Amino acid sequence: MSLAAPALQPAMSLWGADLTWLELVAVVLSLVMVALNLRVNPWAWPFAIAASMLYAILFAHYRLYGESALQGLFIMVSLWGWWQWLRGTDAHHRPLVVRVLSRQGVAGILLAWAVLWVAIGLLLDHITDSDVPYWDAWPTAGSVVGQYLLARKWVENWPVWLAVNLISVGLFAYKGMWLTVVLYGMFAVLSVWGWRAWWQLAADAAGRR
């Protein structure tokens, strides 16, 4: 953390809270990432990796340990996701395309989210000094689910991100991370846009097959 100290110095003040250089750069990288995801462009993944590295430091600085640890997982999953978008195949060994989960798949995803939420919340509550362990754990668990769905090009990654982003807005506002609040508010809007765009892509792909 000491090596990142210069980047954690205030760049400006926003709504009564300091905005660090690190947060500013992380926000820009994240916006580029989402724009590329909307276009199903594989270059979204290296931007995701860079943004996750910066946010891991930033969240640890604000004692959001679940979110911080999540960034390490994001980096690993982003490397896998990058490979999936370049070389991944579906159950029929065809190149991945944007597609829709079955009802059984949706139920499995919701169950996984619930189990992860409880497990991460208990972990944060017992081994860290987090003042919001279960609030922190909910979007953390959802982000794991969303990242998996995104990597495999399931349309349902977007409603998952919408829910995660809306809860995260409240969490980051509580911590006074105002630029990140704005960013996640934008992410929520972009999630709706992405949901609609990918639904059309899935319909087009199904028609071709």
The model's pLDDT over 40-95, given as tens digits with 9 standing for 90+, comes to 999 999 999 999 999 898 888 777 787 788 788 889 989 999 999 999 888 888 88
pLDDT at residue 202, rounded to an integer: 93
Average per-residue pLDDT in the chain? 87
More confident call, 207 vs 122: 122
Residue with the two structure tokens 């139920």: 107
Q: Given a cut of 60, is residue 175 above it in pLDDT?
A: yes
Beta-strand pair 10-14/17-20: antiparallel
Cα–Cα distance for residue pair 206/126, rounded to 1 Å: 47
Quickly list H helices, the chain.
21-38, 44-61, 65-87, 103-127, 133-151, 157-174, 178-208
Contact 180, 23 (CB under 8 A): yes
Q: Is the pTM of this model over 0.85?
A: no
Residue with the two structure tokens 């916006």: 31
pLDDT at residue 141, rounded to an integer: 93
Cα–Cα distance for residue pair 15/5, rounded to 1 Å: 22
Contact 110, 146 (CB under 8 A): no
CB half-sphere exposure, 60, CA atoms < 13 A: 17
pLDDT tens column, 125-146: 888 888 888 988 999 899 989 9
DSSP string over 39-75: TT-TTHHHHHHHHHHHHHHHHHHTT-HHHHHHHHHHH
pLDDT at residue 91, rounded to an integer: 81
pLDDT tens column, 102-118: 999 999 999 999 999 99
Q: Given a cut of 90, is residue 190 above it in pLDDT?
A: yes
